[in-house]
A and B are shown apart, each in its own frame.
Chain A
């Protein structure tokens, strides 16, 4: 009997097979129709099997308390939510809520299912039910605000965010939520207040810069807006949310671990990323992409040797993976293994001739070896494609110095300094060249 069939049949038993007849709640339970997991990873199938079996047992045992049955539905629901099987997860949480109406987790998770399946009105209703059971739950208030914002219900969104803020006054995510409501109302002054407050609460909150820029722009403060736009951008993560954090860390599949690794890399947490990618590799040893990502994470943590091992493993699995050749070249170049680096950059370019990063890296290595005449055509090729490519412009000018074309180099450095004020290397090189120092 399949996992799905077992669950569905046993829910029916609970509803209709009890000696004294079903309770009003259990009579309303919907059978959980499990998704077809036959194409899912074996590890995920096993997770589902274990949880479905636990649900089966909870249903079968007459003495099981409703809360325990609800928990069994909830555990299966969380796994299905994590695996993006929204429809089956919805049934699980709905049944859990029916069995244990006092537990805020079930309507909360239900709200998250609806949010992730793009049903904002249903999500709003579910979050509102969760709040009836736990009025001060910050994450619920926050996501209630977001779903209302999605629907353009601005006053209601503001009310949810405001309620959340009274409980978590220092939350940058919530302040930013209020700011976005202000932006939608074109109340730019209030938006600035909220976004600046968010940045004061969390100076590293990259998700504030873009909407703050829009608020400044609305107030006519162009310079401030442009300054904010030069800063990193991100999406608001929401306030800390242990319930959804549990869901996010639940799935035992290579892709899920890869995703966690990518998220960790976005947080600049190379150590954590490496752990996730390693686990992904254990689950799917045949994935060149996993080895490539693990190599990247290891390199970021300073483990160049480990990175080389992983990039080489990626290339053994997929010799035509241009990214892996490029990454391996970068590590080898950093270890001054220039001949091997050149070999891999060249391989990357053979596979993808328009791979400009690889071409620049190749040109830079050639230049560093004094092979200016070999480097020059690569720089020229990049600059033909993109005359504003700062790295190529700088490298090309430096190559001109090496071959003795100093006047041209000077002009290039000067132009680069004008065009790329964010790259002080141009001005520095120009200064060194002007003061007679040969190698900028």
Chain B
């Protein structure tokens, strides 16, 4: 942070959890703004008491970031079994191919995915069902760091700008040509003319047709719900779907997003973090691309009004079978009370854990998540995954102008769970007698500028009965495994079930 109120500096950056060396644990990629982004290898030893340790392997990995780093997306773009990295930036983005030997090669030029501008969140999505991951890249605003606009608070104090000071930038979708190159398919996909300042994106099948759609969170403009028309094109159905604006018609300052079955009805709902005073939006799916805004009555809005939320994810913190919500917060404009106390970086806000109490209500349980969890910081990106492979979801938080935080979940694995390695984009149903079916999606996108654990972790509560697992693969095929072991991870491959 230069202290010069440069707009890009307040937006912060993201983090990725991915197994780059295929050794069965999650490694960490930390995006840095002005500095060099870092890759840390996870050397967790499951034998010796799950003692976590990480090694900085950036140099030997061959990753050399350029531009001002913003976000990261992960996916195996060349189908070689190793996860590649896509890095967004203020400036040119970078695609790094994983060489499957611990090193990466910058294939940006050859791939054609450099896309100048300012991009933040991206999603690896096989939108045409050809078996190859394509790439959606959310762009923010037309901005030149050398021409930063001076913005002020109402009292005349210098402050960071809002996106309204700039024109939004067109989002991009790159089609994978199966040969290491991509084609910019933005126009053909119908995304060219309708865009806002995008900060968050999540790919999910919101109309139940088996094809991935895109939900795009825009900062201060209407969000978009791009319905996949199954012909390479999309149609924005956000308004009629009820997910474009808040219940009172406000185009909120939307930042982080997630799609998950928060009400346990088998259909994914949408979650959007926003600015202080707006409250996190919870859109519950009621039909094919039809959502109701239940932010108020679920308690989500009231609990989150005081926060500017960025990274967000639905995880079953206590493995009770119900998805809870973690929101990583931090203001974008100076908080007057902190200024008054002489805080030199007056944007700190506490993180939040909103516990799913069932019956559609969420309760703020941040106070029971640990003192360090509640420590106010300027949170931005966050990635979620089982870093210590102990059967519950941990969190890595990227703070703006502050240290990264790793929160290890200490309560989830007190309950039973089933862990699944499936292809990203797959939908998983855990079926047990006398219990509701638990539906989860395998995905890495969502949150803010970050990429999370692609594995599926289903909390089973006190019931240790091995569940039947039904998987709907990204190509639409459905398979079932009659009994999958609990309290461990199992790899399910397409074509091996019934």
Residue ranges of A at the interface with B (Cβ–Cβ < 8 Å)? 33, 35-37, 39-44, 82-88, 116-121, 149-152, 154, 180, 183-186, 207, 209-211, 213-214, 217-218, 222, 225-226, 229, 233-236, 251, 253-256, 259, 284, 289, 320, 352, 354-355, 384-389
Which of A116, A152, A233, A253 has the most C-beta atoms of chain B within 10 angstroms of its own C-beta? A152
Check B247–A211 contact: CB distance below 8 A: yes
Q: Is the interface of B mostly helix, strand, loop or mixed?
A: loop
Check B302–A120 contact: CB distance below 8 A: yes
Given the known inter-chain contacts A84-B153, A151-B302, A184-B297, please indicate yes or no for A233 contacting B249, CB distance below 8 A.
yes
Residue ranges of B at the interface with A (Cβ–Cβ < 8 Å)? 142, 147, 149, 152-158, 167, 169-170, 187, 190, 192-193, 239-240, 242, 245, 247-250, 276-277, 279, 290, 292-294, 296-299, 301-302, 305-307, 336-337, 339-340
Check B187–A236 contact: CB distance below 8 A: no
16 inter-chain pairs at a CB distance below 8 angstroms, sorted by A residue, are A37-B155, A39-B157, A41-B152, A42-B156, A87-B340, A88-B340, A119-B305, A184-B296, A186-B292, A211-B248, A233-B245, A235-B249, A236-B249, A253-B152, A385-B193, A387-B192
Please measure, in the bound complex, the distance between the C-alpha atom of A226 and the C-alpha atom of B239, giving whole angstroms: 9
Please measure, in the bound complex, the distance between the C-alpha atom of A83 and the C-alpha atom of B334, giving whole angstroms: 13
Q: In chain B, what residue has the closest Cβ to A207? A: B249
Check A352–B340 contact: CB distance below 8 A: no
Check A152–B336 contact: CB distance below 8 A: no
Which residues of B are found within 8 Å of A233, using beta-carbon distances? 245, 249
Closest beta carbon of chain A to B270's beta carbon, Å? 15
Closest beta carbon of chain A to B226's beta carbon, Å? 14
Check B187–A387 contact: CB distance below 8 A: yes
Check A210–B167 contact: CB distance below 8 A: no
Please measure, in the bound complex, the distance between the C-alpha atom of A81 and the C-alpha atom of B13, giving whole angstroms: 33
Please measure, in the bound complex, the distance between the C-alpha atom of A116 and the C-alpha atom of B302, giving whole angstroms: 13
Check B248–A180 contact: CB distance below 8 A: yes
Closest beta carbon of chain A to B329's beta carbon, Å? 12
Closest beta carbon of chain A to B278's beta carbon, Å? 9
Check A251–B154 contact: CB distance below 8 A: yes
Given the known inter-chain contacts A152-B296, A184-B294, please indicate yes or no for A85 contacting B240, CB distance below 8 A.
no
Please measure, in the bound complex, the distance between the C-alpha atom of A342 and the C-alpha atom of B240, giving whole angstroms: 40
Please measure, in the bound complex, the distance between the C-alpha atom of A88 and the C-alpha atom of B337, giving whole angstroms: 8
Check B250–A235 contact: CB distance below 8 A: yes
Please measure, in the bound complex, the distance between the C-alpha atom of A33 and the C-alpha atom of B337, giving whole angstroms: 10
Sorted from nearest, which 4 A-B pairs have the closest CB atoms? A41-B156, A386-B193, A210-B249, A118-B305
Check B306–A151 contact: CB distance below 8 A: no
Check B340–A84 contact: CB distance below 8 A: no
Please measure, in the bound complex, the distance between the C-alpha atom of A229 and the C-alpha atom of B147, giving whole angstroms: 37
Closest beta carbon of chain B to A384's beta carbon, Å? 7
Total residue contacts A-B, CB cutoff 8 A: 152
- Name the contact of B336 in the complex, choosing from A86, A180, A222 (C-beta under 8 A): A86
- Name the contact of B152 in the complex, choosing from A117, A152, A222, A254 (C-beta under 8 A): A254
Which of B152, B154, B193, B239 has the most C-beta atoms of chain A within 10 angstroms of its own C-beta? B154
Please measure, in the bound complex, the distance between the C-alpha atom of A41 and the C-alpha atom of B159, giving whole angstroms: 13
Check A217–B296 contact: CB distance below 8 A: no
- Name the contact of A39 in the complex, choosing from B154, B158, B167, B247 (C-beta under 8 A): B158
Closest beta carbon of chain A to B140's beta carbon, Å? 13
Which residues of A are found within 8 Å of B296, using beta-carbon distances? 149-152, 154, 184
Closest beta carbon of chain B to A354's beta carbon, Å? 6
Which residues of A are found within 8 Å of B239, using beta-carbon distances? 210, 213, 229
Given the known inter-chain contacts A116-B277, A150-B301, please indicate yes or no for A320 contacting B147, CB distance below 8 A.
yes
Closest beta carbon of chain A to B268's beta carbon, Å? 19
Check A41–B240 contact: CB distance below 8 A: no
Check B187–A386 contact: CB distance below 8 A: yes
Closest beta carbon of chain A to B338's beta carbon, Å? 10
Closest beta carbon of chain A to B165's beta carbon, Å? 8
Please measure, in the bound complex, the distance between the C-alpha atom of A254 and the C-alpha atom of B167, giving whole angstroms: 22
- Name the contact of A150 in the complex, choosing from B158, B170, B305 (C-beta under 8 A): B305
Which residues of B are found within 8 Å of A389, using beta-carbon distances? 193
Closest beta carbon of chain B to A160's beta carbon, Å? 14
Which residues of B are found within 8 Å of A354, using beta-carbon distances? 142, 169-170
Please measure, in the bound complex, the distance between the C-alpha atom of A138 and the C-alpha atom of B249, giving whole angstroms: 23
Check A41–B155 contact: CB distance below 8 A: yes
Q: In chain A, what residue has the closest Cβ to B360? A: A152
Q: In chain B, what residue has the closest Cβ to A88? A: B340
Check B142–A352 contact: CB distance below 8 A: yes
Which residues of A are found within 8 Å of B149, using beta-carbon distances? 289
Which residues of B are found within 8 Å of A289, using beta-carbon distances? 149
Check B240–A207 contact: CB distance below 8 A: no
Closest beta carbon of chain B to A238's beta carbon, Å? 11
Which residues of A are found within 8 Å of B292, using beta-carbon distances? 186, 218
Which residues of A are found within 8 Å of B340, using beta-carbon distances? 33, 35-36, 85, 87-88
Check A87–B156 contact: CB distance below 8 A: no
Please measure, in the bound complex, the distance between the C-alpha atom of A384 and the C-alpha atom of B337, giving whole angstroms: 49
Check B250–A180 contact: CB distance below 8 A: no
Closest beta carbon of chain B to A196's beta carbon, Å? 16
Check A152–B301 contact: CB distance below 8 A: yes
Closest beta carbon of chain B to A385's beta carbon, Å? 6
Which residues of B are found within 8 Å of A186, using beta-carbon distances? 292
Which residues of B are found within 8 Å of A214, using beta-carbon distances? 242, 247, 293
